[in-house]
Structure 1
Amino acid sequence: MKIFSRYFYIILFISSVNLMFSQKGKFGIRDGHFILNEKPFSIYSGEMHYPRVPSQYWKHRLQMMKAMGLNTVTTYVFWNYHEEEPGKWNFSGEKDLRRFIKTAQEVGLYVIIRPGPYVCAEWEFGGYPWWLQKNKSLEIRRDNKAFLEECEKYIRQLAKQIVPLQINNGGPVIMVQAENEFGSYVAQRKDISLEEHRKYSHKIKEMLVKEGISVPLFTSDGSSLFKGGSIEGALPTANGESDIDVLKKSINEYNGGKGPYMVAEYYPGWLDHWAEPFVKVTTEDVVKQTELYIKNGVSFNYYMIHGGTNFGFTSGANYNKDHDIQPDLTSYDYDAPISEPGWATPKYKALRDIFQKMNKERLSDIPQPVKVITIPEIRFSKINSLFDCIDQNKPVVNNAPLTFEDLNIGNGYVLYRRKFDKDQKGTLDIPGLRDYANVYLNGIWKGEVNRVTKKYSLDIDIKAGDRLDILVENMGRINYGANIVHNLKGIISPVKINGVEIFGNWEMFPLSFDKFPNYAYQTKNIADHSPVIQEAEFNLNETGDTFLDMRKLGKGIVFINGKNIGRYWSKVGPQQTLYIPGVWLKKGKNTIQIFEQIFEGNRSVNSIDHPILDQLVK
């Protein structure tokens, strides 16, 4: 009877706690303060994007945030993650936004939603579906009828997920962002009037309100960019602003001379590109800035508190005058307080000490990390050259190379092929390359052309009867800045030899790698630098997180049990390992498949117990 009574009271206590947090609440802005249930409230938030973390790990990462002392989680919503094809929406399984929000509520965190429609986030095309570019009358981020119609469809679907989970409906959602970092875009697109820019951004806000968003709205921009980015009726917040006086002055100017004051993105780490050093931010700097915000009553959101991984083809790219493109790593570790595999870093522990001093009650224990395993050498028993497989596919034929978009392919690769009936010797120019390619004559590698290093040409000596192959990879669409409107992929302008266009009889083989292709394997000698597919099975007695060591390979993608783990480019770095979540492994038989673009004879791979993200190859 005593045992029954004890369990009864335990269940009653748990139920009362859950009921207390799930009851309808109030969150708003009054007298220059955030007000939660009639009391002043400071937002101490961390950003984590649910698509970058396996759903089985959401609760663990959220508990890590709670144990650090945060009270809120912020997430972007990626439009192109949920609209898989035009009109085909998916909010289930790994894409279950509602479940992520409810999990945050179970852990005891409030939620801030950043739905864009543009999100940046080092994510493919800033979150936009690639096929928007197929509509020639549509221009993104503009007061454009065709574009706004698509935005309205997206916001309507989004609202179905988050409106029932707003705080006034018993959920944890306390704020929603309207557009994202629009001020910087306005500053770069001076060809568009400020009046038109503001028409567009205000229409996005109106769509959100129309579809039932009733919690406070906000915008986020650099503190000098509020003129273009602020929206009437939405709280302006300052991204990355470390100077308290500048922060308050900027917000006061666009918020009626008062707060609340918030930094919607404070950077305890930074983003990383292929072929560039891995960026680190010191713990001392992060601790100092955090204490300064708290001391001055500034709310803030760590971007990122936990970065996760750009699985598959989800990573985006930046653009500047020195690099036509700066593709982002597969790892989105971000040097964040919670590392890519969910480990508590020294930065995490130092920040936890700050929040513990502020709390009268002891913070919850830091959750134990997921178990890590290592996998011994896996020998690839099956291999074949892509050239020996590709003829199974029917090519698209055209007089000039077509873009990925024209070929109705969003990501992956396209093999461009042409046969010659006369000799051609000189410089092969591919100025419209987007983004990376290897060039072959009769299956023999002749060189690399690469948008990252702005190398668009190489010497070529073609004989009558020769076959030219150009295997082009989309390394991620630009996600930030004015060049986001120039995001076609593949070969987007004429290929030339000695300045003369190579016209007619182009064959194109789209290779989307939505799933690993089911080609036949055959064992025979494969030419150096050929593109190859490889497959092997391996057995595990136990599962756990691990890190695939790619240092012996060149460039390509890896599938584990049918899941695209992401890109590697070990030839340049700095990322040399690929994170494999243990929940995607199985006891017993597992399958690994690799598409290797620069085969140099290696036919094995193994895993190690730690990531290598900072080994740049000169």
Structure 2
Amino acid sequence: MLIILYSCSAIDITYDSNALIINGERRLIFSGAIHYPRSTVEMWPDLIQKAKDGGLDAIETYIFWNRHEPVRGEYNFSKNLDFIKFFKLIQEAGLYVIMRIGPYVCAEWNYGGFPLWLHNIPGIGLRTDNPIYKNEMQIFTTKIVNMTKEANLFASQGGPIILAQIENEYRDIMWNYKDAGKAYVKWCAQMALSQNIGVPWIMCQQPDAPQPVINTCNGYYCRNFKPNNPKSPKMFTENWIGWFQKWGERVPHRSAEDSAYSVARFFQDGGVLNNYIMYHGGTNFGRTSGGPYITTSYDYDAPIDEYGNLNQPKWGHLKHLHSAIKLCENVLTSYSARNDTDLGNGITLTTYTNSTGARFCFLSNNDANKDANIDLHSDGKYFVPAWSVSVLNGCNKEIFNTAKVNSQTSIMVKKSDDKSSTKLTWEWKMEPKKDTMHGKGNIKAHQLLEQKELTLDASDYLWYMTSVDINDTSIWSNATLRVYTMGHTLHGYVNRSATVGLANYGAWFDEIKTGIPGGPVQLIGNNNVTMDLSTNPWSYKVGLNGERKHLYDLQPHVSVSWNNNSSYIPIGKPMTWYKSEFKSPLGTNPVVVDLQGLGKGHAWVNGHSIGRYWPSMITDANGCSNTCDYRGNYVKEKCNTNCGSPSQRWYHVPRSFLNDHMNTLVLFEEIGGNPQSVQFQTVTTGTICANVYEGSQLELSCQNGQVISQIQFASFGNPEGQCGSFKIGSWEATL
């Protein structure tokens, strides 16, 4: 007989200005964001374990309203929307959870996480003192809280959730709503507190958060942030570890050195909790990316990359920082004295001392250009590079410096599998347009309607159709169609408007129109004779015929005949569906599909959407560099790569989407492309490089079962260059 006993003893969560207090134990918390819908259920255990191995205490996530309630009153918590299972896996790994209900999430997520049906409720106003919206927000919040309580997941029930968040970055837009905004903030706090969850509530970027709700900080740096209550802990809920990418933009990176500098300065100035956005970014599967124009990849330059690989050296460097700060957690959370000494030239020594006399110091050089040699007399001499922080155990031994990276750099490469990378054979089908071209829509109006009000997020596409009688060919023989559109792309068969993710940020973002709302749509003839079609009888059709027939499914809703003439494949033809079968790549490395040659559209593997693709959108040829100077305040234009290339060429295909043998890839090509170069590859470690400083240890490792076959030493001095191209520096030691 096997008996499994789970302990559900209540965990007491309190706090003061120096610590989060968990069952009486004074703690500093390192946390990282992993959004459950941006990965698969099968990926969750590995991601959680890598977060734990990286020195995290907690994992944070939003709750995504539009994925859980796509239709009013109809809920979905299956597969990778099963946040309860996600939280239980985190608990089993021995980590805590920070649950950010929102329910507005921003997150570069379609419509900020709001379901589109909210938009069409008469009289509603989102994120303000509007009774209709507040009622819907409270219904959803209560639904999530009750589900979580039923699973005993709050710390007060013995569960892993130690903090919960209501609303999100409201201060940034509150002034637009004036008194209604202030009233809304108070209501949010009261509604949240009435849920009686037994753990503290937080509001990020909300200086006037009503007590006892704790206000917190988001940004690249939060060292100067102070809570609005001197008894509250200083918490960094969004440390932007990198940045997201938009179609047409270069790939942004934030260095390991500056990431660590931000964290160390935060704890030097009394920080209690640091949460990385993102620790694993993942993938915007389906049509979940917002923005608009957010790429399908949400890699974010996070410590764990989009595919689940360690992003080195960032993951390892931050792991070492976490270990260094945790070494004297007892001093930092229970100090009796803190002294900040200005040593000049941007150098600050911060000394923490507890009642036993134990000391812990941070020595920071905040100058972005000049290194410093610091003599602390009996506590030693230290070299502190520009824009760095040294962590001194006992105030007399450097155990970490944010600019001295002692972690490996892993260069990831994409490889084709010789046994499964044969050239794909394609079937194809043109998107049926006959019915549409004859104006057979299912909605009719004598005006131009707004796109998202009709599509309700069921499709990126909306057809606008009308008919025009042309009697005088002398006027209209060479006519021009003029359209005022707020769609993200427009195709002029009759008219079809498309979106690439709905807005997710800003005041009244929900009122930003899409499509051709109100027009005008005009036909311009010879001699500028104008025919206004805006009030014509218009017919509307949501989505594509191929979407309604589920051409992307392994078993479409209706019998579908594909063209399989191998001697002809339509190339450069808009509105074309392509289908091909392929073998699963061997091994366990993450799988990607290279869509180079295609234009813009959507891709499915075995019926699973892997997201929008747009490899024809090329980035600016300028603005990239082979080197990245970590020094100075970070901005997203700094340390960019991928200039003059497709914004995104490779698209993640999770292993769990694949069958053991044959699989089906379906593409909908919107603007015209060539599928003949499409191929499946795996992502693996190509090269590992590392610097190690005197007196430091270096750990080298491969991923996914690979082994190190050879080690080469480039220099025993001060080598110059970067991974893959080191050269001997100005001096070299003799062995």
Question: What TM-score do you get using the length of structure 1 for normalisation?
Answer: 0.81
2:656 maps to amino acid: V
Query: What is the alpha-carbon distance in structure 2 between the residues aligned to residue 521 and residue 507 of structure 1?
Result: 29
Give the gaps of 5 or more residues in structure 1: 1-7, 318-325, 441-467, 612-618
Asked if residue 395 in structure 1 is aligned to residue 441 in structure 2, the reply is yes
Query: What is the alpha-carbon distance in structure 1 between the residues aligned to residue 236 and residue 504 of structure 2?
Result: 21
Q: Do the aligned partners of residues 180 and 127 (structure 1) sit closer, same or farther apart at CA in structure 2, a change above 3 Å counting?
A: same
| Secondary structure of residue in 2 paired with 1:99 | helix
Q: Do the aligned partners of residues 35 and 413 (structure 1) sit closer, same or farther apart at CA in structure 2, a change above 3 Å counting?
A: same
| Secondary structure of residue in 2 paired with 1:384 | strand
1:199 maps to amino acid: A
Equivalent position to 1:480, from 499, 505, 522: 505
Q: Do the aligned partners of residues 525 and 348 (structure 1) sit closer, same or farther apart at CA in structure 2, a change above 3 Å counting?
A: closer
Q: Which residue of the partner structure matches residue 102 of structure 1? A: 88
Q: Do the aligned partners of residues 380 and 418 (structure 1) sit closer, same or farther apart at CA in structure 2, a change above 3 Å counting?
A: farther
Q: Which residue of the partner structure matches residue 560 of structure 1? A: 605
Q: Which residue of the partner structure matches residue 413 of structure 1? A: 461
Q: Which residue of the partner structure matches residue 616 of structure 1? A: none
| Secondary structure of residue in 2 paired with 1:565 | strand
1:501 maps to amino acid: D
The 5-angstrom pairing of residues 65-214 of structure 1 reads 65-163=51-149, 164-187=152-175, 189=176, 192-193=177-178, 195-214=179-198
Q: Do the aligned partners of residues 243 and 208 (structure 1) sit closer, same or farther apart at CA in structure 2, a change above 3 Å counting?
A: closer
Query: How many angstroms does 1:32 deviate by?
Result: 5.1
Q: Which residue of the partner structure matches residue 592 of structure 1? A: 665
Check whether the contact 1:372–1:546 (CA below 8 A) recurs between aligned residues.
no
Query: What is the alpha-carbon distance in structure 2 between the residues aligned to residue 263 and residue 23 of structure 1?
Result: 29
Q: Which residue of the partner structure matches residue 311 of structure 1? A: 285
1:315 maps to amino acid: S
Query: What is the alpha-carbon distance in structure 1 between the residues aligned to residue 505 and residue 241 of structure 2?
Result: 20
Structure 1 residues 278-287 or 551-560, which shifts more? Answer: 278-287
Check whether the contact 2:220–2:262 (CA below 8 A) recurs between aligned residues.
no
The 5-angstrom pairing of residues 1-400 of structure 1 reads 19=7, 22-30=8-16, 33-163=19-149, 164-187=152-175, 189=176, 192-193=177-178, 195-221=179-205, 226-227=207-208, 230-240=209-219, 242=221, 244=223, 246-248=224-226, 251=227, 254-255=228-229, 257-298=230-271, 299-317=273-291, 326-345=292-311, 346-358=313-325, 374=417, 376-377=421-422, 379-388=424-433, 395-396=441-442, 397-400=444-447
Deviations 1:433-471 (A, max 9, x none): 32212223xxxxxxxxxxxxxxxxxxxxxxxxxxx3x33
Equivalent position to 2:482, from 429, 451, 456: 429
Structure 1 residues 572-581 or 512-521, which shifts more? Answer: 512-521
Q: Which residue of the partner structure matches residue 532 of structure 2? A: 501
Q: Which structure has the greater CA radius of gyration?
A: 2
Query: What is the alpha-carbon distance in structure 1 between the residues aligned to residue 141 and residue 456 of structure 2?
Result: 25
Q: Which residue of the partner structure matches residue 443 of structure 1? A: none
Q: Do the aligned partners of residues 610 and 471 (structure 1) sit closer, same or farther apart at CA in structure 2, a change above 3 Å counting?
A: farther
Structure 1 residues 277-286 or 527-536, which shifts more? Answer: 527-536
Deviations 1:291-312 (A, max 9, x none): 2233344121001111001100
Deviations 1:188-217 (A, max 9, x none): x1xx32x32121122222222333322101
Deviations 1:32-75 (A, max 9, x none): 53211112111110011001010111111011110000101110
Q: Which residue of the partner structure matches residue 695 of structure 2? A: none
Asked if residue 609 in structure 1 is aligned to residue 587 in structure 2, the reply is no
| Secondary structure of residue in 1 paired with 2:102 | coil
Check whether the contact 1:543–1:583 (CA below 8 A) recurs between aligned residues.
no
Q: Which residue of the partner structure matches residue 5 of structure 1? A: none
Query: What is the alpha-carbon distance in structure 1 between the residues aligned to residue 583 and residue 538 of structure 2?
Result: 44
Q: Do the aligned partners of residues 351 and 373 (structure 1) sit closer, same or farther apart at CA in structure 2, a change above 3 Å counting?
A: farther
Check whether the contact 1:241–1:263 (CA below 8 A) recurs between aligned residues.
no
Q: Do the aligned partners of residues 389 and 167 (structure 1) sit closer, same or farther apart at CA in structure 2, a change above 3 Å counting?
A: farther
Instruction: Note the aligned Cα RMSD (angstroms).
Output: 2.9
Query: How many angstroms does 1:504 deviate by?
Result: 2.5
1:237 maps to amino acid: T
Question: What TM-score do you get using the length of structure 2 for normalisation?
Answer: 0.69
Check whether the contact 1:75–1:112 (CA below 8 A) recurs between aligned residues.
yes
Deviations 1:551-581 (A, max 9, x none): 1101000011111110111111311111111
Query: What is the alpha-carbon distance in structure 2 between the residues aligned to residue 496 and residue 233 of structure 1?
Result: 57
Deviations 1:208-267 (A, max 9, x none): 23333221011111xxx624xx233211111116252x213xx1xx21x34311111111
Give the gaps of 5 or more residues in structure 2: 329-407, 525-529, 618-645, 685-735
Q: Do the aligned partners of residues 406 and 302 (structure 1) sit closer, same or farther apart at CA in structure 2, a change above 3 Å counting?
A: closer
Check whether the contact 1:555–1:568 (CA below 8 A) recurs between aligned residues.
yes
Deviations 1:131-178 (A, max 9, x none): 111123101001111111111211121112223310010100001011
Query: What is the alpha-carbon distance in structure 1 between the residues aligned to residue 19 and residue 90 of structure 2?
Result: 24
Q: Do the aligned partners of residues 380 and 406 (structure 1) sit closer, same or farther apart at CA in structure 2, a change above 3 Å counting?
A: farther
2:523 maps to amino acid: I
Moved over 6 A (4+): none
| Secondary structure of residue in 2 paired with 1:226 | coil
Q: Do the aligned partners of residues 506 and 384 (structure 1) sit closer, same or farther apart at CA in structure 2, a change above 3 Å counting?
A: farther
Asked if residue 578 in structure 1 is aligned to residue 651 in structure 2, the reply is yes
Query: How many angstroms does 1:84 deviate by?
Result: 2.1
1:103 maps to amino acid: L
Check whether the contact 1:553–1:599 (CA below 8 A) recurs between aligned residues.
yes
Check whether the contact 1:101–1:172 (CA below 8 A) recurs between aligned residues.
yes
Query: How many angstroms does 1:268 deviate by?
Result: 1.1
Query: What is the alpha-carbon distance in structure 2 between the residues aligned to residue 57 and residue 29 of structure 1?
Result: 33
Query: What is the alpha-carbon distance in structure 2 between the residues aligned to residue 243 and residue 305 of structure 1?
Result: 18
Query: What is the alpha-carbon distance in structure 2 between the residues aligned to residue 161 and residue 378 of structure 1?
Result: 48
Check whether the contact 1:270–1:334 (CA below 8 A) recurs between aligned residues.
yes
| Secondary structure of residue in 2 paired with 1:61 | helix
Q: Do the aligned partners of residues 384 and 496 (structure 1) sit closer, same or farther apart at CA in structure 2, a change above 3 Å counting?
A: same
Query: What is the alpha-carbon distance in structure 2 between the residues aligned to residue 402 and residue 516 of structure 1?
Result: 28
Deviations 1:483-542 (A, max 9, x none): 413244332222223464324343333117485464533367758442101112223374
| Secondary structure of residue in 1 paired with 2:502 | coil
| Secondary structure of residue in 2 paired with 1:595 | strand
| Secondary structure of residue in 2 paired with 1:115 | strand
| Secondary structure of residue in 1 paired with 2:26 | strand
Q: Do the aligned partners of residues 359 and 242 (structure 1) sit closer, same or farther apart at CA in structure 2, a change above 3 Å counting?
A: closer
2:461 maps to amino acid: Y
Query: What is the alpha-carbon distance in structure 2 between the residues aligned to residue 48 and residue 490 of structure 1?
Result: 33
Check whether the contact 1:373–1:543 (CA below 8 A) recurs between aligned residues.
no
Check whether the contact 1:133–1:488 (CA below 8 A) recurs between aligned residues.
no
Query: What is the alpha-carbon distance in structure 2 between the residues aligned to residue 395 and residue 543 of structure 1?
Result: 48
Greater helix proportion:
1
Check whether the contact 1:155–1:207 (CA below 8 A) recurs between aligned residues.
no
Q: Do the aligned partners of residues 130 and 488 (structure 1) sit closer, same or farther apart at CA in structure 2, a change above 3 Å counting?
A: farther
Check whether the contact 2:486–2:513 (CA below 8 A) recurs between aligned residues.
no
